[in-house]
Chains A and B, each alone.
Chain A
Amino acid sequence: MKILFIKLIRTIWKTKGQFLAMVSIVTIGISIYIAITTGFYNLRHSRDIFYQENNFADYYFQVIKAPEKITNKIEALPEVQKVSGRIQQDVPVIKNDKKRGTARLTSYNLPIDKAVNRIQLLNGRFFDENPLSGDIEVMIDPQHLSANNLSMFDKITIIADEKQVPLTIVGTATGPEFTYLIKDAATLVPDPQKFGVIMIPTIQAQKILKMDGQINQIIVKFKPGIDQEKAAQKIEKILEPYGNLASFPREQQLSHAALQGELDGLLTTSRFLPVLFLLVAAAAQFVLIRRMVQNQQTEIGILKALGYSGRSLIIHFTGYALLVSVVGIIAGIILGLIFASAISDLYAQFFNLPAAIGGINVKTIIYSIILSLSTGIIAGISATLSIVKINPAESMRLKPPVVRSHSLLEKWPWLWQKIDTSWRMGLRTVNRNRIRSTITFAGVVISVALLVISMFMNDSIDYMLDQHFNQEVNYDFMVRFSNPVKNSELGILYDIKGVNKVEPLLEIPVKIRYKDKRENALIIGLIPTSGMQFPVQKNGHKLSIPEEGILLNEQTAKKLNVTVGDVITVEPLINKTKSKTRELKIMGINHQLMGGNSFVSLKQANQLLNEANTANGAMLKADRGKFSLIEKELSNITGISSISSRQSERDNFMSMLDSLIYFIGIMLTFAIILGFAIIYNSSILSFNERRREFASLQAMGFFKRDISNLLLKETVLEAAPGIILGLPAGYIMAHSYVKSVSTDLYSMPVVISPLTYFLAALGGIIFVLIGHYWGIRRLKDLNPHEVLKNID
């Protein structure tokens, strides 16, 4: 047995190139598995601890105003475990640079311990509800603090009830609902400079917002195992008299949805990518070991004649695959843990999770070992079973030429005759080695598909950016007012130097009902001739805004199960005293990549609020060079609650994409290694088993480049269809990936540019050529007189 092991080690040394190629595929598969799965478990674990420690709410109820005591009534319900009432409202912030930002003012009662959505202090100290200094003490989220260069005991000024109110920062804190801080579903990435959370004592919030003894949000934690929807309906009934504006479960809470989306994506990737790599590795090992058994028939016969059992020889050859797995596992674990810590670091930056996110997941490592060893063993044993059948006496005799047959194409002689002899050789080789050719083909398909997938996200994001920032919106600034204004008052905006065009806008949060279904939505009223915002269809075509009726957002339409022509009931959630519930006919379905707004005409929007010619926002078009000045001027207007600039939103988005480059780079590298390894293995096998044939061609007068071309043709026959099919396969894989990670709030279009297809195909051609020429590099040592040596 020891001798057999020595033989195994020598075989590996002799085929070290192939051995390493297969090890690299296993290494990649295992390292991806470990990195992503560890990332997944760490992120989920850290999230779960954070949620649990801080009583993350199951359900959110938004009302106009309700007495604080209402929480007692809700807490009395049998389904409810815990309730907190609080004030949460977005308010304008005047920043140090005099520009506007938005703060989500969120109130808490002390002691905080029992609160739902409790917060954790990160730095400084908790606020004092009534400090002797008379200041209003607050905590803010750490991102907002550092993005705006603020420090402890600095003051920040908010505008509340049309007055500037200075607040003193005494600490930074975070909570389970603030892990990924975005303002609304239309904002995909955080902008900590312009948006932050201010945590304030409830009593102070009530004072500055003139809401004494009142709250506007109830957050609930249910007992485990109850029907949450039913319980929510009971609570809604209790809140009915107080203007129940909106209610939504945890799944629709923005930061939770973002975190969950990331987790889902990780899980999909962790299941799908490593399996692909391990399958390819197993297939490549199967082919190589089967070929080794075929080539070493005589040796196997001799060993059997000496008395080695078939089983011990199967173990010997399977040992090759096993060693590939073992070396692959070791390298994969090391690489995987390095990647895992990088991923965990990235998440620690990306999400505000205070619990330590690092750590090694032993279960993952054990799984990866089992996964890789079992694929290796299966590949090895299935490739070596034929050993049992080898007859020692027969195997030592001279073998007749391997049986060849006509390929399918030869049934059409008119076609076959037109094919050059060297191509015929290639076609027959492919036909003869069907299993190997299929595996090579499949390996190329997978590699090229991975190349497409690596690059498609970039295309999709480019498309989203272009669609949103160039097609759907055309304004330079959008401002929102604290209170609705008459259209005629918008003139003040024209007076700002550099502003060329101003259009009114009326945004109304509404509740839409259709039959027994209901959905919260945001309706935007625009002038029908708007040149600032354009609702579009799914195919990108612009929709015109109807004078009457509504262009309903696709997501909302899907949830309500309605279509064009249906009539929905729209209940505005602002100005409750004056506004009217109306029936609106759906005139079209609009598609939005970011956010889920529906559109009506400005007139229709005014009718909903029972107003005429009012607006609560405006869109501005301005001279490019004067953006900064205009933003400052706008910030000086007290009636303006928020200012958003298309340019800075876009820039912020772009800056978040930097890390994508690393992801793309790593994926591309992996895809190319996979493709290279597969082609290299197939080429070297093809070359080695036919050395003699090629030597005789050389004796006949073939140049080495002729033989090289001959081999290339074979590779092309296997690889070219693989490259071609890899492109649509990439498209399909991208679709299924996106489908698996899409949520109500986030969905990504699958857009793959012709350039990506071109680059993926080019990448495919490059790895095929490199793998091929590396595989047949021994051709230069081929000697024509090898052919004269006796056949062994």
Chain B
Amino acid sequence: MKNTLLDIVNISKVYRMGEITVEALQNISLKIYEKEIIVILGPSGSGKSTLLNIIGGMDKPTSGQVYFYDQDLTKLNDQGLTRYRRKEIGFVFQFYNLIADLTALENVELAADLVENPLSSIEALKKVGLDQRKTHFPSQMSGGEQQRVAIARAIVKKPRLLLCDEPTGALDLETGKKVLSLLRKINEELQTTIVIVTHNSAISFMAHRIVRMGSGKIIEIKENQNPVLPERIEW
């Protein structure tokens, strides 16, 4: 029996852009279980980023509920959502978004300072294999290295849910694979639930479950009985 970490119940999201209304999400329901890697696949405009925003507590649905265990995220105010992100969520972005004025280690420390019982920052850097480059600034590192620092920064808080938005989108194939292996390793070692949003279907081979989206709707949810090691994925 799998434990549900996040239960998304019939949510919709409508954006009003001037005189046009855009239905970014339409009646979406999805359960995310503990310890799984789930890949949300879809072309741009399919609503996957909107869904990730809502899961990550950065946006609220127009209707429907999102339960994190028993807590309904749609009932939380700004402060409550910030607390939720602080404690439960780790983010990895396509363009890394490291703080340019901080070194690798300091970027990790910045996140560690937010929670009560974080990993040691240097441990987190070790996990991503960058402890030797702790005093480097983002401008002194390659894209792959920056993304690994971003992952260290995300996991140092020991979040229960790691959200990755096109984590390999700005990287070449080899570097991208290294980043995905690192995510898998984290899932195994720290038992962190990982949600990866991407338009790259190859990545879905490493997932336990695959969610396919299109035009604001879930098209299919597929169990992957035999996840492939990221090193073997090609695209």
User: Which residues does A use to contact B, with CB under 8 Å?
Assistant: 398, 400-406, 421-422, 424-425, 428-429, 432, 692-693, 696-704, 783-785, 787-788, 790-791
B134 adjacent to chain A (CB < 8 Å):
no
Dominant secondary structure at the A interface: helix
Q: Is there an interface contact between B85 and A700, defined as CB atoms closer than 8 Å?
A: yes
Interface size on B, residues (CB 8 A): 40
B131 adjacent to chain A (CB < 8 Å):
no
A427 closest partner in B (C-beta): B101
User: Which residues does B use to contact A, with CB under 8 Å?
Assistant: 49, 52-53, 56, 58-59, 78-79, 82-83, 85-87, 89, 91, 93-95, 97-102, 106, 109-111, 113-115, 135, 137-139, 146, 153, 157, 165, 170
Q: What is the CB-to-nearest-CB distance from A695 to chain B, in angstroms, rounded to a whole number?
A: 8
CA distance A703 to B111 in the complex (A): 12
How many A-B Cβ pairs are below 8 Å?
98
B159 closest partner in A (C-beta): A701
Interface centre among A421, A429, A700 (most CB of B within 10 A): A700
Q: What is the CB-to-nearest-CB distance from B119 to chain A, in angstroms, rounded to a whole number?
A: 15
CA distance A421 to B107 in the complex (A): 9
Taking A424-B106, A699-B58 as contacts, is the C-beta distance between A693 and B97 under 8 angstroms? Answer: yes
Residues in B with CB closer than 8 Å to A404 are 100-101, 137-139
Q: Is there an interface contact between B101 and A428, defined as CB atoms closer than 8 Å?
A: yes
Residues in B with CB closer than 8 Å to A406 are 135
CA distance A406 to B153 in the complex (A): 21
User: Which of B87, B91, B99, B157 is the one whose CB lies under 8 Å from A693?
Assistant: B99
Residues in B with CB closer than 8 Å to A701 are 82-83, 85-87, 89, 111, 114-115, 157
Q: Is there an interface contact between A702 and B98, defined as CB atoms closer than 8 Å?
A: no
Q: Is there an interface contact between B139 and A403, defined as CB atoms closer than 8 Å?
A: yes
CA distance A692 to B97 in the complex (A): 8
Taking A401-B138, A701-B157 as contacts, is the C-beta distance between A788 and B93 under 8 angstroms? Answer: yes
Residues in A with CB closer than 8 Å to B135 are 406
Q: Is there an interface contact between A421 and B113, defined as CB atoms closer than 8 Å?
A: yes
A789 closest partner in B (C-beta): B49
- What are 17 A-B pairs at a CB distance below 8 A? A398-B170, A403-B139, A404-B101, A405-B137, A424-B102, A425-B106, A429-B101, A692-B97, A698-B82, A698-B85, A700-B85, A700-B111, A702-B86, A703-B82, A787-B97, A788-B93, A790-B95
Q: Is there an interface contact between B100 and A788, defined as CB atoms closer than 8 Å?
A: no
A407 closest partner in B (C-beta): B101
Q: Is there an interface contact between B87 and A785, defined as CB atoms closer than 8 Å?
A: no
A413 closest partner in B (C-beta): B135
Residues in B with CB closer than 8 Å to A401 are 98, 100, 137-139, 146
B110 closest partner in A (C-beta): A421
Q: Is there an interface contact between A699 and B100, defined as CB atoms closer than 8 Å?
A: no
B101 closest partner in A (C-beta): A428
Identify 10 new A-B residue pairs, CB closer than 8 A, beyond the known A398-B170, A403-B139, A405-B137: A402-B139, A404-B101, A424-B106, A692-B97, A693-B100, A698-B82, A700-B111, A702-B86, A703-B82, A788-B52
Residues in B with CB closer than 8 Å to A696 are 91, 93, 97, 99
A402 closest partner in B (C-beta): B100
Q: What is the CB-to-nearest-CB distance from A412 to chain B, in angstroms, rounded to a whole number?
A: 14
Q: Is there an interface contact between A788 and B89, defined as CB atoms closer than 8 Å?
A: no
CA distance A680 to B170 in the complex (A): 36
User: Which of A428, A700, A785 is the one whose CB lies under 8 Å from B86?
Assistant: A700
Q: Is there an interface contact between B99 and A697, defined as CB atoms closer than 8 Å?
A: yes
Q: Is there an interface contact between A784 and B79, defined as CB atoms closer than 8 Å?
A: no
Q: Is there an interface contact between B139 and A400, defined as CB atoms closer than 8 Å?
A: yes
CA distance A701 to B157 in the complex (A): 10
Q: Is there an interface contact between B102 and A425, defined as CB atoms closer than 8 Å?
A: yes
Q: Is there an interface contact between A432 and B101, defined as CB atoms closer than 8 Å?
A: yes
Taking A400-B139, A404-B137, A787-B97 as contacts, is the C-beta distance between A700 and B58 under 8 angstroms? Answer: no
CA distance A697 to B95 in the complex (A): 14
Q: Is there an interface contact between B58 and A783, defined as CB atoms closer than 8 Å?
A: yes
Residues in B with CB closer than 8 Å to A402 are 100, 139
Interface centre among A696, A697, A704 (most CB of B within 10 A): A696
